[in-house]
Chains A and B, each alone.
Chain A
Amino acid sequence: MNLMKLLDTICPDTKDAESKDRFYSRRDAFRQFGDFGKKVALAAVPLSVLNAIPQIAKADTATLINVLNYALTLEHLEYRYYQLGLDAGVVVAAERPIIQKIRDHELAHVRFLTEVIANVLNGTPVAEPAFDFTAGGNFSPFSDYPTFLALAQAFEDTGVRAYKGQAANVMESDVVLTAALSIHSVEARHASMIRRLRTKKGQDMVKGWITGNSIGTLPAAAAGIYAGEENLTHAGVNVSTLTGIDAAGVSEAWDEPLSMQAVLGIAGLFLKSSN
């Protein structure tokens, strides 16, 4: 895809006055929404947000609810995983604060997404599924710390790709897009920390960023989590050819999205079959 062709098709000034007004009112709503979010959980959503959001077409609202329920499913998985790990005592004492911090963020994401789906979009948040983090008896994350960290890396890197893959599907709403971006970068921080922690502990040689499509010492089943991360070409530009920077370095510099189907395939390994 040629970027300049893309840019040629962009006509920001052709929006009619009415849609522009809607655009701005949603944006203003987000500013209040954002300020509000800093203070407390979304126990009461400002009226301005409720008034602004329904101006999105119903079909778009359905899409937003669908995407956020998908995100909520992944956040449920992450939160439950860390909580069970902490409960089981598998996390070494020195690293409990790190895992607790990540757990806290995932729980906050669960609560935030639940509130937005229910009270902003008037949808029905998905209930927490029943998980099987042994993946049918293949893993023992709650009795083996290296396995616990390895799966944590897999979940965080998957989460980053999952949010990225949905950006275009939520861009109609500035509120939802900005919230999703603000979760996405937190997941990336988690991923970087877990990856580097594993390497510092001698369990792997991965860096904070993803080199090619390398799974490091993760089990072969993790290949799908990193498939496509070796990409060097963006908007039709092969950046390695352009810059002379080696493929490893260029692949690290861009994270790649993953489709909902691929992510659910990965997450499905950890769902109880009774779901």
Chain B
Amino acid sequence: MNKELFKPQGLIQKADRRQFLKMGSLTVAGAGLLLMGCNDDDRMPSMPGMVNLGSGDVGILNYAYALEQLEAGFYAEVMKGSYFANANAEEKTIMGDLEKHERAHREFFKVALGANAITELEFDFSSIDFGNRNAVLAAAKTFEDLGVAAYNGAGQFLTNADLLLIAGKIVSVEARHAAAIRDLINPNSVDFAGDDLIDANGLERTLNFQQVLTAASTFVKNEIDFSQLPS
């Protein structure tokens, strides 16, 4: 709907960032109203509703819940595809484990958030060929690396130490996944912790809400309003 709203962060002057984020929510809301008034606009067929992650620690948990929904949804599709059906024993075990782990994460956040949980998101994985090993592994790599960078970037915004610990317990498992997937793609190489992710100080990249949700938006049908998240 409004990808132009989500400009790359580098284009936004630093001093204006908080202001931008505040304006962002208003603009997004306005766009939603406009669309409601345009029922005959066939560019937006059956658009699922806007999802507001909320604010504070609840908002961060909903952000994590959204990402876990995405990952769990992806592996559920992997299980149904012909790549998985024909995969070797090692890769079947790994994909089966990842499906279980991400489903466990998703269901945990759903129950933990209770009435504060966002709705179940709708996904479009049609760009991924689930019969093609390379395509499935490439997508898995994208999702796992994205999850790690998202948790690493969001940790600083949690105010509750117990929630921070829970996020920490999950992010290292996502990193274990990411390393394994990368090793399946390029076995026994150094890609498991590649220079594309890890800088000269040995620090893994972090991504902010906007970067993560923009990347995820390729696969998520719902428009996600993250404007109330801490900044």
Contact = CB atoms under 8 A, between A and B. Distances in A.
Q: Kindly state the interface size class of chain A when it binds its partner.
A: 35 or more
Interface in A1-21: 1, 3-4, 6-7, 9-10, 12-13
Nearest to A23: B230
B122 interface: no
B116 to A, nearest CB: 7
A7 B116 contact: yes
Interface string B146-186: 00100111011011111111101111111111111001000
Given A181-B151, A181-B152, A189-B176, A4 B200 contact: no
Interface in A103-123: 104-109, 111-112
A149 to B, nearest CB: 13
22 contacts: A1-B162, A7-B57, A7-B160, A10-B57, A10-B58, A10-B160, A13-B56, A38-B200, A97-B189, A109-B202, A112-B202, A168-B164, A171-B156, A181-B152, A182-B206, A189-B175, A208-B94, A209-B97, A209-B101, A253-B100, A253-B170, A255-B169
A10 B158 CA distance: 10
Contacts of A174: 156
Given A34-B206, A164-B165, A181-B155, A105 B193 contact: yes
A178 B100 contact: no
A252 B101 contact: yes
Main SS of chain B's interface residues?
Answer: helix
Interface of A: 1, 3-4, 6-7, 9-10, 12-13, 27-28, 30-31, 34, 37-42, 94-95, 97-98, 100-102, 104-109, 111-112, 160, 163-164, 167-168, 171, 174, 177-179, 181-193, 196-197, 207-209, 234-235, 237, 239, 242-243, 245-246, 249-250, 252-257
Instruction: For the complex of A and B, list the 7 residue pairs with the smallest distance between their C-beta atoms, beginning with the closest.
Output: A108-B202, A188-B175, A168-B161, A192-B176, A253-B101, A182-B203, A188-B172
Given A209-B176, A253-B100, A12 B165 contact: no
Given A235-B112, A257-B169, A189 B193 contact: yes
A192 B103 contact: no
Contact of B162 (A186, A192, A235): A235
B158 A101 contact: no
Contacts of B163: 3, 6
A257 B112 CA distance: 20
Contacts, number: 227
Main SS of chain A's interface residues?
Answer: helix
Given A189-B192, A256-B169, A167 B164 contact: yes
Interface of B: 14, 55-58, 93-94, 97, 100-105, 107-108, 111-114, 116, 148, 151-153, 155-156, 158-166, 168-180, 183, 188-190, 192-193, 198-206, 230
B203 A112 contact: yes
A112 B114 CA distance: 41
A216 to B, nearest CB: 15
Contacts of B165: 164, 167-168, 257
Contacts of A111: 201
A27 B108 CA distance: 30
A208 B166 contact: no
Given A38-B199, A178-B152, A182-B206, A188 B160 contact: no
Contacts of A245: 100, 103-104
